[in-house]
Amino acid sequence: MNKLILGRYFPGDSLLHLLDPRTKLLGGIAFIFISFLAKHIVSLILLWGFSFLVMKLSGVKFKVYFRGVRPLIWLILFTVTLQILFTAGGRIYFEWGPITISEFGLVNGLFIFSRFVMIVLVTTVITLTTKPIDLTDAIHFFLKPLKPFKVPVEQITIMLTISIRFIPNLFDETQKVMDAQKARGAVFGEGSLFQQMKALVPIFLPLFSNSLNRAEELADALEVRGYQSSNPRSSFRQMHWKWQDSACLFAILLLASVLIWLNSINFLNIF
């Protein structure tokens, strides 16, 4: 649990740290869609190169990113395994009932694994280089056009702010509760599935209780400060769009254009 870095912020002065949060949010969403444009190995290699370049520009060591991906690797591998075993096409290597291992399934599994890992890495770059409060400011900016349609933009923004802010606290508190239970003789990860699920009950109850207490304290703090989401609010933090932001979005647009161009090429004729 303490290896998950989702929602954590690493202070720094790298190029990505200095970018406008709106740029990073748009770029992250665009990269998720762009990752599905990879149709062959050349496009996949290009996406991997772009992902490593973004990680390098963040100024955070590579081992931090891979340490954050490690807790999710089993979920990713489970999804890839299902794709490999139940997708048929091309040369068949093994077949037993509904289970089939084929050339198309293996290639598709490789692409799905790469997409999952790259999306996790790039989105992790956004959270590591952007303060949670700046990220919610960017979300609020993009939700503003929905106000005429009676969408509660302020309420959504404050909920996202609180959620992102307390994700690392929840992870740290979970680890503390697990350590406390281990000190009392609790054993996790052993026995049958039912026994392992039963062993998690002493973790969920304190976490649930502490979360309710924290929510009440936060509500009291907001009420004491006179917070009302219906009232117009100003912001101390001002976002400024710079030429670096335009250059980054242009680079993402260029990446998408190159991938589309590569998909239109018949590589069998080239190689």
Q: What is the pLDDT of residues 15-67, one digit of tens each?
A: 888 888 889 999 999 999 998 888 888 888 999 999 999 988 888 888 888 87
Q: Which of 5-9, 10-14, 266-270 has the lowest mean pLDDT?
A: 266-270
Helices (H) then strands (E): counts for the chain: 12, 3
4 within 8 A of 167, measured Cβ to Cβ:
no
Q: What is the pLDDT of residues 253-268, one digit of tens each?
A: 999 999 888 888 755 4
The pLDDT of residue 225: 78
115 within 8 A of 35, measured Cβ to Cβ:
yes
Residue 60 burial by Cβ neighbours in a 10 Å radius (0-12, 13-18, 19+): buried
* Structure-model confidence comparison of residues 10 and 267, the more confident one: 10
Q: What is the pLDDT of residues 165-200, one digit of tens each?
A: 777 777 778 878 888 878 877 776 666 667 677 777
Q: How far apart are CA 233 and CA 256, in angstroms?
A: 38
pTM of the predicted protein model? 0.75
Pick from 209, 206, 207, 190: which is nearest to 198 by CA? 190
Residue 58 burial by Cβ neighbours in a 10 Å radius (0-12, 13-18, 19+): buried
